[in-house]
Chains A and B, each alone.
Chain A
Amino acid sequence: MHTDAIDCDVHPQVPSFKALLPHVEPYWRDSFVERGIPGFESNAYPPNSPLSARAEWREMGGNAATDVGTLAAQVFDRFKAQTAILNCLYGVELIFSEDMALAVARAVNDWIAKEWLDRDPRLRASIVIPTQNVDFAVGEIERCAKDRRFVQVEVLAMQETPLGRRHWWPIYAAAERHGLPIGIHPGSTYRQSMTSLGWPSYYIEDYAAYAQAFQSQLGSLVCEGVFAKFPGLKVVLIESGVTWLPAFLWRISKFWRGVRAEVPWVDRSPADIVRDHVRLTITPFDAPPDPDVVERVIDQLRSDDILLYASDFPHWQFDGDNALPPGLPHGLERKILIENPLATYPRLTEDAT
């Protein structure tokens, strides 16, 4: 593994609701305590599920990545990354009260800054936003963007409405203004069932269904004209899987040729738009362990710029210390590990100290 690698997806775990409370405004802190609220952890990653944390990375009590030391020991010492981007998956976007969501979002972002970014200069983070209310979300972006260690805005993959819809656009204007990509991560606001045909029986279906949500979000962002309106905007699909992308682009680009009169602002092929504006983290890749298949899928992507390195620590996506799939063309590794992340996140090239 290259020692300058930039790990674009690692997950700090809020160890307990108690740990967040010091960062919550007094009114809300009192309210949470008075009401006996147990916290807002999302069920998107059940804590004891094997996928949620690789067994050997679990600490006493079963949690993983609850403090800087354990995360750094893996991500920096073992995987040899130089920089890592924290994507906190606390359930801010699930909360039904917009005001409460804002209070928790602020607490999470402040907790990240104080307990993580302040403690290890190699860490960067995504801004968690209350997507329940676009004005609040923009306000939180503005507040956190002043801290240059926040390099991205994070939203969950399953929302109440598709992310291309026009009411979302002020968030994209703010992100573009501050040089922050929008990072879409698995997780649901639970405003819709986990599939478009209802609630499945098994967690494995929940998790697999995020690949469909990413397809839908990409279709929405392109078809609504987000990238025509915000030419400087980058979107990163995090932990999305990769191998579904070529067939999705073939499908939507074919349909676009047939019915593009419906969306005149989409003035070139969706495949080209996606290659200019969208990036994907490489873990999970979702190919069989066959270098030939990996190589063919990489060819189908038709871009050396689109993939970003990520370990997805502590989620169990791979064994050993190398998250990269077998069969990557040799010249591509450096692009994926270093150059593509630097080109995607303008703030990574700044001296943030």
Chain B
Amino acid sequence: MNIELREPEVRQKTRLKITDVDIHPKSAIEDLKPYLSKRWWEHIETFGARTRQGFLKGFPYPKSQPLASRRDSWPPGGGLPASDLKFMCKQYLDLYPIEYAIMNPLSPTGQGDQNDEFSAAMAFAANEFQLDGWNARDPRLLASVVVPYEDAEASVVEIKRRAGDKRFAHVLLKSRTCELMGKRRYWPIYEAAVAAGLPVGVHVFGTSGRPASNTGWPSFYIEDMTEHASCCQAQVMSLILEGVFERYPDLKIVMIEAGFGWMPSLGWRLDKNWKTLKAEVPHLKKAPSEYLRQHFWVSTQPMEEAEEPEQLIDTMSWVGWDHIMFASDYPHWDFDDPLNALPPSLNEERRAKIFSENARALYKLD
């Protein structure tokens, strides 16, 4: 699964411009120290992060590679994968024609911590560091408004703080929230995002404290990965059926790293059940699949791979060519190389939409 560097010929091969909606520049906890109060720095040193899972280090489902990263992504000068801008440029940002890349910081960001106040302090610090540590040094790198989503009020404060700042692309949530995203407790986040003119990105992972499936804890990392799709299905259902889009008609949601093959079937199933059960959800004014098509965008990586490649084209057309955006997931092990990520039979027009135009339109990039 590791990618060999192929430096010389790449730029000549592709004429496309790329906006990548999912990369993961890494910060160390020390990077955030300047933006944290003495109280919270001492909290980190004394108690550390306490997400809703049991291990002191590492992940509940151990990854297949160290830090889930490409083995060639560790900078030669030391440090963690994607922690060294110069090496990241050499290996990715300059190797391909990247116009913009949206940073979705996963850790340390305080998201999903048991302590809401700590989570809020960390979100602020993570956002400041995205600006100072990355965007200021390479303006192609757009930031996410990391929010402490279990505390909607604090999230609103953070969104308002960043509103109007063009360096931020979207509000960032992780997919495994403590409750379903359609629940009223999260609505202030959507209201603030719409007011700020920002889409809401939902990146897979996070620790909800609940089993990764609705039938209990699976055993393996491969299941943990597969369950991101079931988790995101539940979130999409909840957002639609709770009437979030009737309340916030301008809300746009980007499902990141969730795949998209499951999406058409989910819409069909909801439509069918809605036909029978619509008396229960009178706040819906149209079929669920219409909200799905209108309000959700998806990122490519890790894209489902059909056994017969043409069949994926059917699925992509059911999702909608205007709502699929390229993502590489650099520097993670399942990184998608822009050169061969998309089905080869896609025409130039569709490639251009996926690589660049859809993201430029959604994020209003110049």
Contact = CB atoms under 8 A, between A and B. Distances in A.
A208 B238 contact: no
Given A50-B277, A216-B230, A223-B223, A208 B215 contact: no
B307 A271 contact: yes
Given A197-B179, A202-B281, A250 B307 contact: yes
A345 interface: no
Interface stretch (A11-19, A153-161, A329-337): A153-161
A184 to B, nearest CB: 10
Interface residues of B, number: 69
B80 interface: no
B222 A224 contact: no
A248 interface: yes
B311 A243 contact: no
Contacts of A209: 214, 234, 237
Given A203-B280, A255-B226, A300 B211 contact: no
Contact of B215 (A163, A261, A300): A163
A51 B280 CA distance: 12
B1 interface: yes
Contact of B235 (A197, A211, A215, A250): A197
Interface stretch (B39-47, B259-267, B340-348): B259-267
Contacts of A296: 311, 314
The 9 closest A-B pairs by CB, nearest first: A247-B261, A216-B213, A195-B234, A250-B304, A212-B230, A243-B265, A161-B216, A286-B269, A244-B265
A161 B214 CA distance: 9
A159 B216 contact: yes
Contacts of A121: none
Contact of A200 (B180, B212, B218, B308): B180
Which among A163, A250, A288 has the highest number of chain B CB atoms within 10 Å?
A250
Interface in A124-172: 157-165
Interface of B: 1, 64, 176-183, 208, 210-223, 225-227, 229-231, 233-235, 237-238, 241-242, 259, 261-262, 264-266, 268-274, 276-277, 279-281, 302, 304-308, 311-312, 314-315, 318, 333-334
Contact of A259 (B64, B265, B273): B64
A251 to B, nearest CB: 5
B217 A161 contact: yes
A3 interface: no
A193 B333 contact: no
Contacts of A244: 262, 265-266, 269
Contacts of A288: 268, 271
Which among B223, B233, B261 has the highest number of chain A CB atoms within 10 Å?
B223
Interface string A219-252: 1100110000000000000000101101111111
A300 B265 contact: no
Contact of A243 (B214, B234, B269): B269
A43 interface: no
Contact of B216 (A160, A194, A195, A262): A160
A94 B96 CA distance: 55
A157 B215 contact: yes
A194 B179 CA distance: 11
A157 B214 CA distance: 9
Contacts of B271: 288
20 contacts: A160-B215, A163-B215, A164-B219, A191-B216, A196-B214, A196-B231, A198-B178, A200-B180, A204-B280, A207-B273, A208-B237, A208-B270, A212-B214, A213-B213, A220-B223, A223-B223, A243-B264, A247-B262, A255-B222, A300-B314
Contact of B261 (A161, A211, A219, A246): A246
Contacts of A198: 178-180, 183, 208, 210
Interface residues of A, number: 72
Contacts of A77: none
Contact of B276 (A51, A260, A287): A51
Contacts of B218: 162, 164, 216, 219-220, 223
Which among A159, A249, A251, A287 has the highest number of chain B CB atoms within 10 Å?
A251
Interface string A241-282: 101101111111111101111110000000100000000000
A250 B310 CA distance: 13
A192 B213 CA distance: 9
B178 to A, nearest CB: 7
A83 interface: no
A207 B281 CA distance: 14
A276 to B, nearest CB: 15
Contacts of B270: 204, 208
A30 interface: no
B180 A203 contact: no
A286 B262 CA distance: 12
B216 A192 contact: yes
A40 interface: no
Interface string A279-307: 00000101110000100100110100000
B272 A284 contact: yes
Contacts of A300: 306, 311, 314
A286 B312 CA distance: 18
A160 B214 CA distance: 9
A284 B265 CA distance: 12
Given A215-B229, A219-B227, A200 B237 contact: yes
A260 B1 CA distance: 12
Given A243-B264, A246-B261, A284-B272, A196 B230 contact: yes
A262 B222 contact: yes
A223 B215 contact: no
Contacts of B264: 243, 247
Nearest to B225: A255
A205 to B, nearest CB: 5
B1 A258 contact: yes
Given A202-B241, A212-B233, A288-B268, A196 B222 contact: no
